[in-house]
Amino acid sequence: MKTLSILGSTGSIGCNVLEVVRSFPDRYTVTALSAGRNIRRLHRQILEFDPELVSVVDKESAAQLQGMLPGKYKDRVRYGVSGSEEVASLESSDMTMSAIVGAAGLLPTLAAIEAGKDIGLANKETLVMAGKLVMDSCRKNNVKLLPVDSEHSAIFQALDAGHRDDVAKIILTASGGPFREKTFQQLESVTPEQALAHPNWEMGRKISIDSATLMNKGLEVIEAKWLFDVTVDEIQVVVHPQSIVHSLVEFQDGSVIAQLGLPDMRIPIAYALSYPRRLAMSLPGLNLAECSNLEFHDPDFIRFPALGLAFTAIKKGGVGPAVLNAANEVAVDAFLGGKIPFLEIARTVATVMELVQDGSEECVDDILAADRQARNAATMLIEA
């Protein structure tokens, strides 16, 4: 029986993790849950999974949750960063699933690693912000970091086909989002509702917007650089609208190994939970006869400049990726709130990257300081 702490249990990934746990009650049990402000959903999860510990975003949310729970749970509620770190590093947990959205996932994930917990990583921002720190800590604490993103899970699986020294290139696929065929002029007027309507995946609001701008793929490029110990020049992005080929690895002999599957996040989640074995999932199989038209295209860096900004950030190094991520989080929130148009997301990020540059990628205080400065700068730009 594997015991799990889940960071971000009420989000899209967190709910899918619990769906897999629900399907295999003889293999997995939940010991701790961390969530934001979706108190009603968290309340239902607590009653179903009976965790030892739970955490929410702030004191007010904790009080609300305590008022809804039976007496035996009232002393199990924590809040804030310290609460998430306590959930992440709970002694009775074997593995921590990091599925918090955004920069908020960094400190709890680091706490879990330092406590020696294996990590199922869906929070790509952890590696975007502090890739070197995180991977060094994993090595120091003998921790397995297992990717949950479908693309990185695909690469992780494809790499088993050869020796790491024989890898020539890793190829990340991108669906292209809902706007891949729109002109630059049409992108000026797209709405949040249109951007949230992803053609293939059911995802949370923030990641849906990131997919529409291709920033999500840019963040995955940075994540892949650290996760697989490759240079940015060894990473390629291709647009694959059908989302059947989840990513590929090219070896130096010319062989290209791909991982295929239906676009369902339960598949990479289950693999991370069960690695190195596989679970017998009750999901429909891939019908290759229905997949005869698989397309691959180069991404358009002009219409979707966010992807290019991510390459710039990782090549610049230092706190550049953390600044990129922070500015993007603020800009996406502003777009969803109707404060800026769609194309202003990337413009805001580009400006903030010029304004905030100082700090070391090997110092968590520098990374967090750059994150704060970038958020403040983005907020001022948007308000202006």
The per-residue pLDDT for 291 is 87
Q: Are residues 172 and 147 in contact, defined by beta-carbon separation less than 8 angstroms?
A: no
The per-residue pLDDT for 87 is 98
Q: What is the pLDDT of residues 204-262, one digit of tens each?
A: 899 899 999 999 999 999 999 999 999 999 999 999 999 999 999 999 999 999 999 99
User: Is the pLDDT at 199 greater than 80, yes or no?
Assistant: no
From-to residues of CATH 1.10.1740.10 in the chain = 152-383
SS3 call for 103: helix
Q: Are residues 53 and 78 in contact, defined by beta-carbon separation less than 8 angstroms?
A: yes
User: Is the pLDDT at 201 greater than 80, yes or no?
Assistant: no
Question: Does residue 268 have a cis peptide bond before it, meaning omega lies within 30 degrees of 0?
Answer: no
CA 240, CA 59: separation in Å to the nearest integer?
A: 44
Q: Are residues 215 and 301 in contact, defined by beta-carbon separation less than 8 angstroms?
A: no
User: Is the pLDDT at 136 greater than 80, yes or no?
Assistant: yes
**Mean pLDDT (whole number) for 69-97:** 95
Alpha helices in 245-363 (DSSP H): 266-274, 305-316, 320-336, 344-355
Q: Are residues 166 and 252 in contact, defined by beta-carbon separation less than 8 angstroms?
A: yes
Q: What is the pLDDT of residues 258-287, one digit of tens each?
A: 999 999 999 999 999 999 999 999 999 899
What is this structure's pTM? 0.93
Q: Are strands 245-251 and 256-260 parallel, antiparallel or unpaired?
A: antiparallel
The per-residue pLDDT for 47 is 96
The per-residue pLDDT for 204 is 80
From-to residues of CATH 3.40.50.720 in the chain = 2-123
Residues making up the chain, counted from first to last: 384
Q: The tokens of 140 are what? A: 């120091």
The half-sphere exposure of 234 on its side-chain side, counting CA atoms within 13 A, is 20
Domain 152-383 matching CATH 1.10.1740.10: the answer reads yes
**Mean pLDDT (whole number) for 334-350:** 97
The per-residue pLDDT for 71 is 87
Give kind and range of the element (H or E) at residue 35: none
Is the sign of the CA dihedral 311, 312, 313, 315 positive or negative?
positive
Q: The tokens of 135 are what? A: 């991977």
**Mean pLDDT (whole number) for 37-58:** 96
User: Is the pLDDT at 200 greater than 90, yes or no?
Assistant: no
DSSP string, 111-175: HHHHTT-EEEE--THHHHHHHHHHHHHHHHTT--EEE-SHHHHHHHHHGGGS-GGGEEEEEEEE-
Q: Are residues 246 and 173 in contact, defined by beta-carbon separation less than 8 angstroms?
A: yes
Domain 2-123 matching CATH 3.40.50.720: the answer reads yes
The per-residue pLDDT for 292 is 83
Write the CA distances from 301 to 307, 310, 384, integer angstroms. Answer: 7, 11, 27
User: Is the pLDDT at 297 greater than 90, yes or no?
Assistant: yes
The per-residue pLDDT for 137 is 97
- Residues of the chain above pLDDT 70, percent: 99
Nearest in space to 354 (alpha carbons), one of 372, 383, 333, 327 = 327
CA 52, CA 7: separation in Å to the nearest integer?
A: 14
The per-residue pLDDT for 13 is 94
Q: Are residues 24 and 50 in contact, defined by beta-carbon separation less than 8 angstroms?
A: no
